[in-house]
Amino acid sequence: MIKTLHPKAPRDLELFAQTENFALNQAVTANQRLLLKTALKGLRSQMESAETPLPYFTLPLLVYGAIAKTTAPAEPLAVACGLLFLGIDIHDDLADGDLPKHWRGYKKSQINLAAATLTCSLPQIAISKLKASPDVTAAMQHALAQGLLRMSAGQERDIAFNGKTKIKTSEIEESVANKSGEELALFARLTALLAGAPPKTVATYSAMARAMGTAGQLASDCHDIFQAKISHDLANGTRTLPIALYLEKLDRLPSPKARGTDRQNFLALLKKAQNSRSTQIKIRRLLMNSGVLRHCAFIVEIYCQRALSLLKEAQPMEPFGNALISFINSLSYFSKNVKFPEAT
């Protein structure tokens, strides 16, 4: 069971095979099958490059185990979550204009169809095939529809931030929580419903996963700006946490003149960075020297602590509780000594 905590573990490969079989068996034409086969290359490559446990497979198994002390009934749900993750990822790539190589030669309309099928057809079929009572199945389908609605609103808000000159950290975090946070919250909510958990437990695991998803996405946004060879976010004019923190930092400068000039200069740099790698490096240095990286790490840690605190509240069964702690720790920059926060 704990094997799933490691990307590319045998259990993950097995679940990928189940996901692939399920998706390809549902296809109603040869062309649809080909489209889904191509889309699944994206999931395979995400699995291969993952540096943290795969949330779509790992979270359903661990949350189910934490509630019911067994994982097998959650495997078909992990398949549904894998398909959802893939569909949402393709929608995201389409929105960012950032499609991976395996889509070369396909029209955008075809890719859109693949994403729609993966998000709006296959997970619903997978849920309808689960061994669950009609009431539980209905509650899961409702949770899925509601989760997708919230994520769609989060994505819409995210797109609206592009190129904005005034942006608050709180708005960025809210948008990340409503998109990536909601995605993991949905995986956990579906799992807890399948496990027959009472509403309070469903809500607690959902909130825990929301904090995990938010921490993971904020960490990913920091990686893009501070570590990636080319920052896709800077190239696309996407406003992420490090940019919002720096803009707010400029707003706290004591001199109104400096506030105005430094802000204008930084916005000009952001514009130039869309087409200049050397300007991207300049921005990276500027952010590093002003303490933005540490500030980001602190914020990511707050979400990790929130997830740990909610996990404690959920009273998970072992060894799944400890495995969930390890999963949360994998998102932290300071995971060596992470423990449950003290209750006050």
Partner 1 sequence: MSYEAIGKLMDRWVNDPNFRTELRKDPATAVRESGAQLNKEELAALKQVDWNCSDEELKTRLNKGM
The site for partner 1 (CB under 8 A) is made up of 49-52, 55, 168-170, 173, 180, 184, 213, 215-223, 226-227, 245, 248-249, 252, 288, 290-291, 293-295, 297-299, 301-302, 304-306, 308-309, 330-334, 337-338, 341-342, 344
Nearer to partner 1, 49 or 133 (CB): 49
Integer Rg of the chain from CA: 21
Side chain identity at residue 167, one-letter code: I
Nearer to partner 1, 196 or 291 (CB): 291
C-alpha distances in Å from residue 286, one per residue of 118, 243, 292 = 41, 11, 9
Side chain identity at residue 153, one-letter code: A
Closest separation in Å from C-beta 291 to partner 1: 4
Nearer to partner 1, 52 or 112 (CB): 52
Side chain identity at residue 83, one-letter code: L
Nearer to partner 1, 97 or 291 (CB): 291
Nearer to partner 1, 121 or 309 (CB): 309
Residue 271: in which H helix or E strand, if any?
helix 256-273
Nearer to partner 1, 35 or 177 (CB): 177
Q: How far apart are CA 223 and CA 52, in angstroms?
A: 13
Residue 131: left if φ>0, alpha if ψ -120 to 50, beta else—which one? Answer: beta
Here the tokens at position 333 are 């920059």
C-alpha distances in Å from residue 230, one per residue of 166, 199, 227, 233 = 24, 44, 9, 9
Nearer to partner 1, 132 or 204 (CB): 204
Closest separation in Å from C-beta 62 to partner 1: 14
Q: Are 154 and 182 in contact (CB under 8 A)?
A: yes
Here the tokens at position 233 are 């976010």
In degrees rounded to 5, what are phi and psi of residue 49? -100, 0
Nearer to partner 1, 113 or 167 (CB): 167
Closest separation in Å from C-beta 313 to partner 1: 12
Name, in order, each residue with C-beta under 8 angstroms of 315's C-beta and a sequence gap of 6 or more. Answer: none
Q: Are 265 and 283 in contact (CB under 8 A)?
A: no
CB-count burial class (<10 Å; 0-12, 13-18, 19+) for 272: middle
CA dihedral over 258, 263, 264, 269, signed as positive or negative: positive
Closest separation in Å from C-beta 233 to partner 1: 12
| Residue entry with tokens 């699995």 | 47
Here the tokens at position 291 are 């303490």
Q: Are 77 and 37 in contact (CB under 8 A)?
A: no
Side chain identity at residue 341, one-letter code: P
Nearer to partner 1, 197 or 238 (CB): 238
Closest separation in Å from C-beta 327 to partner 1: 10
